[in-house]
Amino acid sequence: MRAALAASTAVIAAACSSSNKGGGGQAQPAAPVASVKLEPGNGAENVNPTAAVSATVSNGRIDQLALTNANGKQVTGAFDAARSKFTVNEPLGYGATYTWSGTAIGTDNKPVAIDGKFTTISPKSTAPATINIGDGQEVGIAAPIMLQFKGHVENKAAVEKALVVTATPVTEGSWAWLQDENGGSRVHWRPREYWQPGTTVHVGAKLYGLDMGGGLFGDSDLTSDFRIGRAQIVKAAAPTHRVQVVRDGQTVFDFACSYGEGNQDRNVTRSGIHVVTEKYEDFMMSNPPFYTNVRERWAVRISNNGEFIHANPESLSAQGNTNVTNGCINLSPSDAQAYFPTALYGDPVEVTGTRIQLSAADGDIYDWTIDWETWKGLSALQGEPKNQISATPLPPQPVGGR
């Protein structure tokens, strides 16, 4: 009997052992069903700081989540309605490492860790840019929009694609890349014809994170919202020794004046459409060897070569009959004072009747001296890029300040 019982026990033990091998014991826990996708992927490098950044959970929802920089500061973002996706809604920094941390809960109620990191690009250099017209400013009908970069832009087409001008009413215009100045590239936008008075304008420049070529990246975005004021044009026909101020089609001033003497190139008032850029009640002018630090009143700058419309009592006897100045348009003190408050940044000053044309040699705003088809050809998006005016400008020759 004992032998039989022992044999029976051995069979049962063997049967139990066989059952375990067949999977009849305790089941292994199922893997969590939630899955996490990070964009950019974990370990990504040289990520553009404006690239789309998100964390998406399939078969579940995000319970808690943070994206932080190396200093522990959280990046802002937003969840979708189902909390299945978190999207970053602010630009990131250059040359920074960002780390994900958080938890997702699957439809099986099991947690899944959200973790990972990526690094943004470290540019060789960044280029700040400035815009000439500020928010809320009212400008004249010849005002160009000017972006000046602190660095040379190689990838002009990419930059131009990031620029937008929205005008109400719709206004035909074009960007044009002019020769580098002030340490970097510059691009101007001007309408085909003078702006319509009352036009509202929005300028947007999405430059941050933009690869400008040669290792140069955009430093920050720019915007400006401004308005075109009344239509005021200064008509300046040098042979007449007079100047008219025409506002909204009506002549409001007709002044005796004196233009450049013209005995030397530097004393020729340039012909062409000038643009008012700044004005001073008092201004110290110098034009060696003729004079240095002479105080002038009611000075309105119309070109960066030293041309102003301003008061000059010393030329009073010549005003209205003889051109004797070093290139400026001289008025009597009372006439200059009357004109001064009406002058607005961007007003056109149309000079005619002299032997030298306004050009690139005369400073920053010579936009209206370029015919429309040539101007459009200076856009990087109009066929083959043309970054300079085809004609070689004369060497800079300062025009007087009186």
User: Active-site positions?
Assistant: 310, 328
Q: Smallest Cα–Cα separation from 210: which of 294, 121, 135?
A: 121
CA 43, CA 218: separation in Å to the nearest integer?
Answer: 25
180: helix, strand or coil: strand
DSSP classification of residue 313: G
DSSP classification of residue 282: E
Q: In what order do the strands lie in the sheet with 291-301?
A: 278-287, 291-301, 308-311, 329-331
Structure-token pair, residue 226: 């401004």
CA 203, CA 226: separation in Å to the nearest integer?
Answer: 9
Structure-token pair, residue 63: 């319970």
Pairing of strands 232-237, 348-352: parallel
H helices of 340-391, in order, are: 372-377
DSSP classification of residue 150: S
Structure-token pair, residue 21: 């091998």
Cα 266 from chain centroid (whole Å): 35
Partners of residue 287 on adjacent β-strands: 291
CA 197, CA 190: separation in Å to the nearest integer?
Answer: 15
CA 200, CA 394: separation in Å to the nearest integer?
Answer: 37
The beta strand positions in 40-108, using DSSP E, are: 54-58, 60-68, 77-79, 85-88, 97-106
How many beta carbons lie within 10 A of that of residue 101, not counting itself?
15
